[in-house]
Amino acid sequence: MGETSGSNRMRPKLGKTRKKNKYPAKKVSATVKHDDFYISENNRLTYSYKLDVKNKIAEVTCVSLDIKIQDEWMTIVYYDSYHEGQLHRHPRISYFDPSDAPTMFGVKRKGSQNKLLRWAIKDIENNWLVYKQGFIKRSNISNNNTDIPEIELY
Protein backbone atom coordinates (compact mmCIF):
# COMPACT_ATOMS: atom_id res chain seq x y z
CA MET A 1 0.00 0.00 0.00
CA GLY A 2 1.27 3.35 -0.98
CA GLU A 3 4.54 1.93 -2.21
CA THR A 4 6.21 4.08 -4.77
CA SER A 5 9.06 3.67 -7.13
CA GLY A 6 8.77 7.12 -8.65
CA SER A 7 10.55 5.95 -11.78
CA ASN A 8 8.01 6.86 -14.48
CA ARG A 9 5.35 8.78 -12.61
CA MET A 10 5.56 11.86 -14.81
CA ARG A 11 5.67 9.96 -18.08
CA PRO A 12 3.23 11.67 -20.47
CA LYS A 13 0.21 9.63 -21.49
CA LEU A 14 -0.38 9.42 -25.21
CA GLY A 15 -3.88 10.12 -26.40
CA LYS A 16 -5.04 11.43 -23.04
CA THR A 17 -7.48 14.30 -22.86
CA ARG A 18 -7.43 14.88 -19.14
CA LYS A 19 -6.37 18.35 -18.16
CA LYS A 20 -2.92 18.64 -16.75
CA ASN A 21 -2.98 18.94 -12.98
CA LYS A 22 -2.24 22.42 -11.79
CA TYR A 23 -0.29 20.95 -8.91
CA PRO A 24 1.75 18.07 -10.36
CA ALA A 25 3.88 15.95 -8.09
CA LYS A 26 7.31 17.43 -7.62
CA LYS A 27 10.71 15.86 -7.36
CA VAL A 28 10.94 14.37 -3.95
CA SER A 29 13.78 13.83 -1.60
CA ALA A 30 14.11 10.68 0.41
CA THR A 31 12.46 12.34 3.39
CA VAL A 32 9.31 10.59 4.49
CA LYS A 33 7.25 11.76 7.44
CA HIS A 34 4.98 9.39 9.26
CA ASP A 35 2.55 9.90 12.14
CA ASP A 36 -0.12 7.91 13.96
CA PHE A 37 -3.06 9.33 15.85
CA TYR A 38 -5.26 7.19 18.03
CA ILE A 39 -8.91 8.08 17.56
CA SER A 40 -9.73 5.54 20.26
CA GLU A 41 -8.29 2.30 21.59
CA ASN A 42 -9.24 0.35 18.48
CA ASN A 43 -9.06 3.02 15.80
CA ARG A 44 -6.17 5.03 14.50
CA LEU A 45 -5.43 7.48 11.75
CA THR A 46 -2.05 7.09 10.11
CA TYR A 47 -0.47 9.34 7.56
CA SER A 48 2.78 9.61 5.73
CA TYR A 49 4.04 11.94 3.06
CA LYS A 50 7.17 12.76 1.13
CA LEU A 51 8.95 16.07 1.19
CA ASP A 52 10.60 17.71 -1.78
CA VAL A 53 14.04 19.23 -1.73
CA LYS A 54 12.57 22.48 -0.37
CA ASN A 55 10.91 20.62 2.49
CA LYS A 56 7.46 21.09 1.05
CA ILE A 57 4.99 18.22 0.84
CA ALA A 58 5.51 16.61 -2.56
CA GLU A 59 3.34 13.52 -2.29
CA VAL A 60 0.72 12.10 0.05
CA THR A 61 2.01 8.57 0.42
CA CYS A 62 -0.84 7.36 2.56
CA VAL A 63 -3.58 8.63 4.86
CA SER A 64 -5.33 5.63 6.34
CA LEU A 65 -7.91 4.50 8.83
CA ASP A 66 -6.63 1.42 10.65
CA ILE A 67 -8.77 -0.62 13.01
CA LYS A 68 -7.65 -3.15 15.59
CA ILE A 69 -9.05 -6.65 15.25
CA GLN A 70 -7.79 -9.18 17.78
CA ASP A 71 -4.64 -7.18 18.49
CA GLU A 72 -3.82 -6.81 14.78
CA TRP A 73 -4.16 -3.56 12.87
CA MET A 74 -5.94 -3.61 9.53
CA THR A 75 -6.24 -0.71 7.06
CA ILE A 76 -9.86 -0.39 5.93
CA VAL A 77 -9.61 2.79 3.85
CA TYR A 78 -6.71 4.87 2.65
CA TYR A 79 -5.91 7.83 0.45
CA ASP A 80 -2.85 8.33 -1.70
CA SER A 81 -1.77 10.82 -4.35
CA TYR A 82 0.63 8.62 -6.21
CA HIS A 83 -0.56 9.70 -9.65
CA GLU A 84 0.17 13.19 -10.85
CA GLY A 85 -0.64 14.51 -7.43
CA GLN A 86 -4.27 13.39 -7.63
CA LEU A 87 -5.89 12.01 -4.52
CA HIS A 88 -7.58 8.59 -4.67
CA ARG A 89 -9.66 6.87 -1.99
CA HIS A 90 -9.21 3.10 -1.60
CA PRO A 91 -11.83 1.39 0.57
CA ARG A 92 -11.15 -2.29 1.43
CA ILE A 93 -13.91 -4.68 0.35
CA SER A 94 -14.19 -6.68 3.60
CA TYR A 95 -12.33 -8.44 6.39
CA PHE A 96 -11.97 -11.52 4.20
CA ASP A 97 -11.18 -9.73 0.96
CA PRO A 98 -8.19 -7.38 0.73
CA SER A 99 -9.30 -6.10 -2.68
CA ASP A 100 -10.31 -2.45 -2.88
CA ALA A 101 -12.63 -0.25 -4.91
CA PRO A 102 -10.63 2.92 -5.64
CA THR A 103 -12.38 6.12 -6.56
CA MET A 104 -11.69 9.75 -7.41
CA PHE A 105 -15.29 10.83 -6.83
CA GLY A 106 -16.12 12.71 -3.66
CA VAL A 107 -12.40 13.30 -3.25
CA LYS A 108 -10.75 16.70 -3.30
CA ARG A 109 -9.00 17.21 -6.61
CA LYS A 110 -7.59 20.70 -6.64
CA GLY A 111 -4.98 22.13 -4.37
CA SER A 112 -1.42 21.69 -3.26
CA GLN A 113 -0.26 18.40 -1.78
CA ASN A 114 -0.37 20.12 1.60
CA LYS A 115 -4.06 20.94 1.15
CA LEU A 116 -4.84 17.45 -0.14
CA LEU A 117 -3.10 15.91 2.86
CA ARG A 118 -5.10 18.08 5.27
CA TRP A 119 -8.32 17.31 3.43
CA ALA A 120 -7.74 13.54 3.58
CA ILE A 121 -6.94 13.68 7.29
CA LYS A 122 -10.06 15.76 7.95
CA ASP A 123 -12.20 13.39 5.91
CA ILE A 124 -11.12 10.39 7.97
CA GLU A 125 -11.51 12.33 11.22
CA ASN A 126 -15.07 13.26 10.25
CA ASN A 127 -16.15 10.00 8.63
CA TRP A 128 -14.18 7.22 10.30
CA LEU A 129 -17.28 5.81 11.96
CA VAL A 130 -19.17 5.68 8.65
CA TYR A 131 -16.24 3.94 6.96
CA LYS A 132 -15.91 1.46 9.81
CA GLN A 133 -19.62 0.68 9.98
CA GLY A 134 -19.69 0.05 6.23
CA PHE A 135 -16.67 -2.24 6.50
CA ILE A 136 -18.20 -4.21 9.39
CA LYS A 137 -21.50 -4.53 7.52
CA ARG A 138 -19.78 -5.85 4.41
CA SER A 139 -17.60 -8.21 6.45
CA ASN A 140 -20.66 -9.66 8.15
CA ILE A 141 -22.45 -10.17 4.83
CA SER A 142 -19.48 -12.12 3.55
CA ASN A 143 -19.33 -14.10 6.75
CA ASN A 144 -21.52 -16.95 5.57
CA ASN A 145 -19.38 -19.86 6.64
CA THR A 146 -16.52 -18.39 8.56
CA ASP A 147 -16.45 -16.80 11.95
CA ILE A 148 -15.45 -13.18 11.84
CA PRO A 149 -13.60 -11.97 14.91
CA GLU A 150 -15.47 -9.51 17.06
CA ILE A 151 -14.78 -5.93 15.98
CA GLU A 152 -15.12 -3.21 18.60
CA LEU A 153 -16.66 -0.05 17.19
CA TYR A 154 -14.80 2.40 19.45
Partner 1 sequence: MSKNTITTTNVALSGKLMDFLVSTPEVSKKYYGYSYVVFSKDNSQLNEVNNDLVDDLKEEGKKVVKAEETNKKNNPWEFSIAL
Using CA atoms, how far apart are residues 3 and 73, in angstroms rounded to an integer?
18
In 3D, which of 38, 36, 39, 43 has the Cα closest to residue 62? 36
In 3D, which of 39, 146, 26, 24 has the Cα closest to residue 95? 146
The only residue of 36, 97, 125, 152 in contact with partner 1, by rule CB under 8 A = 97
Min CB(110)–partner 1 separation in Å: 12
Q: Confirm if 45 and 64 have CB atoms less than 8 A apart.
A: yes
Determine if 108 is a binding residue for partner 1 (CB under 8 A).
no
Min CB(135)–partner 1 separation in Å: 9
Measured between alpha carbons, how far is residue 27 from residues 6, 8, 58 in Å? 9, 12, 7
Using CA atoms, how far apart are residues 21 and 86, in angstroms rounded to an integer?
8
Determine if 110 is a binding residue for partner 1 (CB under 8 A).
no
**SS3 state of residue 6:** coil
The only residue of 104, 129, 130, 153 in contact with partner 1, by rule CB under 8 A = 104
Min CB(140)–partner 1 separation in Å: 9
Determine if 14 is a binding residue for partner 1 (CB under 8 A).
no
Determine if 103 is a binding residue for partner 1 (CB under 8 A).
yes
Binding footprint of partner 1, residue count (CB under 8 A)? 34
Q: Confirm if 92 and 69 have CB atoms less than 8 A apart.
A: no
Which residue, 1 or 153, is less far from partner 1 as judged by CB?
A: 1
Min CB(139)–partner 1 separation in Å: 7
Residues in contact with partner 1 by CB under 8 A are 3, 5, 8-9, 11, 13, 16, 18, 82-84, 86, 88, 90-91, 93-94, 96-106, 134, 138-139, 141-142, 144
